[in-house]
Amino acid sequence: MRVEVIWALLPLLLAPSHACPKECTCNSNTKVVDCRGRGLYDIPRRLYPDTQELYLQDNRIRGLGSMAFRDIPLVRILDLSNNSISTISPTALLGLRTLQRLSLAHNSLRELDKRLLGPVRSLSHLDLSHNSLGSLPSAIGEGLRNVSHLGLAYNRFGRLERSLLESLEHINSMTLRGNPWRCDCQLIGLKLWLETFLFKGGALDDVLCAQPDEMKDRDLQKIPYQLFHTCMTTSYHYLFANIHHLESDRLLRGQAHGSQGHPSGHTHHSATGDGGGGGGGGGGGLPECEPKQRYRPVNLRHAIATVIITGVVCGIVCLMMLAAAVYGCAYAAIMAKYQRELKKNEELAAAQRAAHATADEKEPLENAIA
């Protein structure tokens, strides 16, 4: 009997020990491990391998080592906000192929390695707000292709690389406030990208300029393009690329709205119209309600036209000023020559009058002597 009991317990004794850490609260049904506010300095070990949600906010964690979460490869939500994290190993997230939501907000991060998000292909929500990040490596964009929300508020960003912005293929909301944005020629790419992003229905908070002084506290989205006229000559190709993209998107929207009432219509944009299918099933003779128009920023074509017209007007004004200067110089030269000739003629006339006066005085004397 004892031998049978030992053989029955042997697999349990040899199996790796996975239990709920004493500092945490675990729910085996929902696969949630809650370790919030427990004064932890490191990631708990020997967690359940099927853990899907791990909450570690409000602790004292200072860094994430290599493969820090190897015990929980199936985790979908990982919250590390409000710690003291200042360093993250490039392989800290290795193995987390199902991670969807990652929060590193309210930490002390100054930089991120370009390889950090490489292993994570399913990430849809990334919050990096309230850190000390001054830039993001362009190569990290490979891990952001599926991100729909990106939080960068309250960091030290002065600009964002265009290549990084273009890698955000599925983004629909961003937070950028609280950064010291430098609104000069280097930020024209961000302004153009944001207008395209808003035109496509994206959600965004305000982007207030910190520098230069004449732009301080102004919203980048509301600054007219005329103030960037010195940068526009190097950005025309980007402008026209955005216009082509906007026109294509507008054409697709028009086709989607036109096919809402047909059974064979595509449903790619059906989410933009509330109750579109239900309205079609009602009275066939009633027209469908027009969807509420979304806010659209200043049209890019209008901006280009404004810049071109401004350039033409400035060119005409310069030509007029040049013509006026040439005319003024010519007029001054002619007037000077005229004055010299007039003075010369006056001197000759005066000399002739003096000669005549002398002759008149001599003639009576000669007559009197005779």
Residue 75 has, within 13 A of its CA and on its CB side, a CA count of 26
pLDDT tens for each residue of 77-111: 999 999 999 999 999 999 999 999 999 999 999 99
Better pLDDT: 351 or 13? 351
Phi, psi of 71 (to 5 degrees): -75, -15
Residue-level pLDDT at 124: 95
pLDDT band at 247 (very low <50, low <70, confident <90, very high): low
Distance of CA 129 to the CA centre of its chain: 16
> In angstroms, rounded to a whole number, what is the distance separating the alpha carbons of residues 147 and 126?
7
Instruction: Name the residue ranges covered by the structural domains of the chain.
Output: 20-179
> In angstroms, rounded to a whole number, what is the distance separating the alpha carbons of residues 4 and 56?
43
Contact 123, 97 (CB under 8 A): no
> In angstroms, rounded to a whole number, what is the distance separating the alpha carbons of residues 132 and 153?
10
> In angstroms, rounded to a whole number, what is the distance separating the alpha carbons of residues 156 and 110?
9
Which residue is listed with tokens 């949630």?
32
> In angstroms, rounded to a whole number, what is the distance separating the alpha carbons of residues 188 and 70?
42
Counting residues of the chain whose pLDDT is more than 90, the rounded percentage is 37
Contact 266, 256 (CB under 8 A): yes
Long-range Cβ contacts of 70-77 (<8 Å, 24+ apart): 70/94, 70/95, 71/18, 71/45, 71/46, 71/47, 72/33, 72/47, 72/48, 73/49, 73/97, 73/98, 74/31, 74/49, 74/50, 74/98, 75/51, 75/99, 76/52, 76/100, 76/101, 77/52, 77/53, 77/101
pLDDT tens for each residue of 148-184: 999 999 999 999 988 888 889 899 999 999 999 998 8
pLDDT tens for each residue of 254-302: 565 555 444 434 333 433 344 444 444 443 333 333 344 444 444 566 6
Indicate the class that CATH gives domain 20-179: alpha beta
**Predicted structure pTM score:** 0.60
pLDDT tens for each residue of 33-57: 999 999 999 999 888 899 999 999 9
Phi, psi of 78 (to 5 degrees): -130, 115
